[in-house]
Structure 1
Amino acid sequence: MKITIRHWHAIAQWRWDIGGTSDHDDADAEDDVCGICRVPYEGCCPACKMPGDDCPLIWGECSHVFHMHCLLKWLGTAASKQQCPMDRRPWVTAERKIAQPVAPAALPSTAPS
């Protein structure tokens, strides 16, 4: 039997890796929105037209996540007092460490000498 594909329609979905689990239920849906603008992380902040790398997320040492533009606008107001809008601790941007794969040449040799 031979099958011929006459039409192909691909669909893709992406989401920011915010360090949570990949399987979300309705209870976790509220945690997947910016605490300032209340737009989902996969969307963009009100100042942007397209989601993605032009509208990145920013993490604080307090573990709260926001759209970068929302946080910068918040920190630019006098009322912010340079504090996290969720817990009012002084805002400190966290360093995101991305795991780098180990090159095969860097692995120790197990062959006898």
Structure 2
Amino acid sequence: MVEKKSEIEILSVDLVATWSLDLQVETCAICRNHLMDMCIECHDNLEDDLCTISWGKCGHAFHRHCIQRWLTTKNICPLDTQVWKEENKKFN
């Protein structure tokens, strides 16, 4: 049997992958930006690598800077008014 040579040769491949968190709410209820995007503070300071997500034991998530600013005046979750207790989750 004669082996047929392909007319197409792949020289390189650039793979692209995306991911997202499995969230009940995908938007920060404080700044209204998507949780995978920068918060307003990081956007103003161009500090993308410092924009992390803070999870509450209630299951709600906010940008860390947003919830820290919120907690200076109220010690409750902005969505369900339970006392805010941070969950120790590290995703970004």
TM-score, length-scaled by structure 2: 0.69
Calculate the aligned-residue CA RMSD, in Å. 3.0
Partner of 1:36: 30
| The structure with more strand, counted as a fraction of residues | 2
Deviations along 1:40-95, whole A, 9 cap, x unmatched? 1111100013585411111111111101010001112x3x2x11111111111012
Change in CA separation of 1:9 and 1:95 when aligned onto 2, cut-off 3 Å: closer
Stretches of structure 2 that go unaligned for 5 or more consecutive residues are 1-5
Partner of 2:18: 13
Partner of 1:45: 39
1:34-113 residue pairs with structure 2 within 5 A?
34-49=28-43, 53-76=49-72, 78=73, 80=74, 82-96=75-89
Stretches of structure 1 that go unaligned for 5 or more consecutive residues are 21-27, 99-113
Could you list the structure 1 runs, at least 4 aligned residues long, displaced by more than 4 angstroms after superposition. 4-12, 50-53
SS in 2 for 1:37: coil
Amino acid at match of 2:61: V
Amino acid at match of 2:67: L
> 2: CA distance between counterparts of 1:35 and 1:91?
14
Between the two structures, name the one with larger relative contact order (CA 8 Å, sep ≥ 6).
2
SS in 2 for 1:47: helix
Q: Percent identity?
A: 32
Q: Report if aligned partners of 1:56, 1:67 keep a CA contact under 8 Å in 2.
A: yes
Amino acid at match of 2:88: E
